[in-house]
């Protein structure tokens, strides 16, 4: 059995009936995005629990082999080989175990949103199309696809029709916007229900994006 990742949890004041699992970027931790929950201003009646898991620590090649929290190794910044597939798969299995744990706690899969920023988004975009449980939706923030050529043969029907929300900064120098847009187009070309929004920002989140995320979550989890 996969050992569950340690997480930061933000629970509603009532028993949760929905859950957002939000994966952070390279070198960050679950604490990084936790402070945005109040900024989303979701109604308490939605009873949404937020889970922010910590990626395991591992050596990262592009950072001189320094150990840091990372969902996978990055061996080069080349567009086609930036994400280490074996690491992405390993992290996807750990996140899948987190989803199963939420289902076991009484929250059905179709009330669970999977979200990820940058590296975390790569894992979310790898896992969701291959998952055999139907989620509520997926948020892919300032991110890209690992091995896009594999999607057509590995994607399952289960989550093809749920909403995938892509958001990216048009001044992003870490993950250039063309990489995020290519991921969005790959999912669209494979019949996934994806939408795209860009923002005047760098490799981060902005207030307008948070407002859009809030509206999207309220629609998806209504």
In sequence order, what are the beta bridge partners of 117?
141
In sequence order, what are the beta bridge partners of 59?
67
In angstroms, rounded to a whole number, what is the distance separating the alpha carbons of residues 37 and 16? 15
CB 169 within 8 A of CB 197: no
* Residue whose token pair is 């952070």: 24
Q: Is residue 172 annotated as a catalytic residue, yes or no?
A: yes
CB 68 within 8 A of CB 26: yes
Q: Is residue 13 annotated as a catalytic residue, yes or no?
A: no
Q: Which residue out of 54, 73, 100, 203 is catalytically annotated?
A: 203
Q: Which residue out of 29, 91, 168, 172 is catalytically annotated?
A: 172
Q: Which residue out of 29, 91, 118, 142 is catalytically annotated?
A: 118
From the CB of residue 153, how many other CB atoms can be counted at a distance below 10 Å? Answer: 6
Q: Is residue 31 annotated as a catalytic residue, yes or no?
A: no
Residues serving a catalytic function are 118, 172, 203
């Amino acid at each position: 059995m996969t050992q569950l990742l340690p997480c930061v949890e933000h629970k509603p004041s009532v028993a949760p009936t929905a859950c957002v699992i939000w994966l952070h970027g390279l070198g960050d931790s679950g604490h990084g995005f936790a402070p945005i929950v109040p900024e989303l201003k979701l109604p308490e009646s939605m009873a949404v629990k937020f889970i922010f898991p910590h990626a395991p620590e591992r050596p990262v090649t592009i950072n001189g082999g320094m150990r840091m929290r990372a969902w996978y190794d990055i061996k080069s910044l080349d567009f086609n080989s930036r994400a280490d597939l074996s690491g992405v798969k390993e992290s996807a299995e750990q996140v899948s175990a987190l989803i199963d744990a939420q289902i076991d706690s009484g929250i059905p899969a179709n009330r669970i949103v999977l979200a990820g920023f940058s590296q975390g988004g790569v894992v979310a975009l790898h896992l969701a199309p291959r998952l055999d449980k139907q989620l509520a939706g997926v948020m892919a923030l300032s991110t890209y696809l690992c091995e896009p050529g594999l999607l057509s043969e590995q994607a399952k029907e289960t989550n093809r029709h749920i909403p995938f929300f892509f958001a990216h900064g048009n001044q992003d120098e870490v993950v250039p916007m063309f990489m995020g847009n290519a991921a969005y187009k790959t999912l669209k070309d494979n019949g996934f229900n994806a939408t795209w929004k860009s923002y005047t920002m760098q490799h981060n989140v902005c207030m307008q994006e948070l407002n859009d995320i809030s509206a999207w979550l309220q629609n998806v989890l209504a």
